[in-house]
Amino acid sequence: MTQTEDLTDIHRADWVEICLPRRWQPYARLARIDRPVGIWLTLLPCLAALVQAATSWPEPKRLLVFSLGALIMRSAGSTANDIADRNFDGHVERTRFRPLATGRLRTRHALIFLVAQLVLAAGLLPFLNHLTQSLAIGLLPLVFAYPFCKRFTHWPQVILGAAFNWGMLMAWSDSRGFVPLGAIMMWLGAVAWQVGYDTVYAYVDMKDDRKLSLRSTAILFGNQGRFWVGVFYLFAVAGWVFAGWSFSAPPGYFIVLVFVSLHLGWQVYKLDITRPTLNFNLFRANVATGGLLLLASIIGQLHLF
């Protein structure tokens, strides 16, 4: 077994194969339904923003709409990424078994599937106010630009971070009708956080990306990855602290952020750019970071302590 074999998007006997008809399986994998980490990393910051923006507690309808939106748009982004990278994925250890790379799915079918995902997302627009609808439409250029950024810039993770966490801004605009400075700082903190953890993720593919002349922050930072990941994690926590201060959050909010800082510091300490499996697991550990951020927001909203 190679060092990264367990990281690949390989066809395995998982719930997708067990529960779904054979024709549906490539679409489920194209949408990354079988890999929920990305869904949690999209959803948890959005839920944190919904809690912060609510005057008491988020309405069930709003929670449902934003949860579905996070699921659909993350899946649509994954589909768009695989369409754009269909000629690269077969040469990358981690992605060589994706449906378009193996030929299990044709490009035109993936394009039809992408249109269907966007139509589903558009079906949520009537449940949003006008400002939030405009923000939702403004997300599309980021979603479609990201897959191509790695061809000409070392900073595709910034575009990805902006897109992944766009729902935080939408949560505020839909709940309050405006987006305050504190909400923007929460979003910028989340973008910095994602640049950090997606850099850790990019180290998994760095060897193959170099061969294909693709770019990433991991390639840019090289052996200084631990330092720069730490810098971006520091910016993330600073943004969240500033946001808490602007919202007059109770002490409990900041206490939870201490644990967020410790968790991120542990990731920086453990990071080893020569160990893809370790880096992949550190990337996945950020689901806990998102959970802590949501917990901090709940404590801040309810003034538990």
Two tokens, residue 79: 């589909």
Alpha-carbon gap, residue 283 to 68, rounded angstroms: 23
Helices (H), 181-247: 181-211, 217-221, 225-246
Q: Which of 271, 287, 95, 69 is nearest to 194 (CA)?
A: 287
Cβ(254)–Cβ(242) under 8 Å? Answer: no
The predicted-structure confidence for 24-39, as pLDDT tens digits, reads as follows: 888 988 888 888 899 9
The model's confidence at residue 57, banded by pLDDT at 50, 70 and 90, is confident
Q: What does the domain layout of the chain look like in residue ranges?
A: 5-302
Q: Which of 78, 264, 272, 270 is nearest to 189 (CA)?
A: 264
Q: Class for domain 5-302, per CATH?
A: mainly alpha
Does residue 95 surpass a pLDDT of 90? no
The predicted-structure confidence for 177-186, as pLDDT tens digits, reads as follows: 999 999 999 9
Under DSSP, the state recorded for 285 is T
Q: Which of 56, 53, 57, 63 is nearest to 246 (CA)?
A: 53
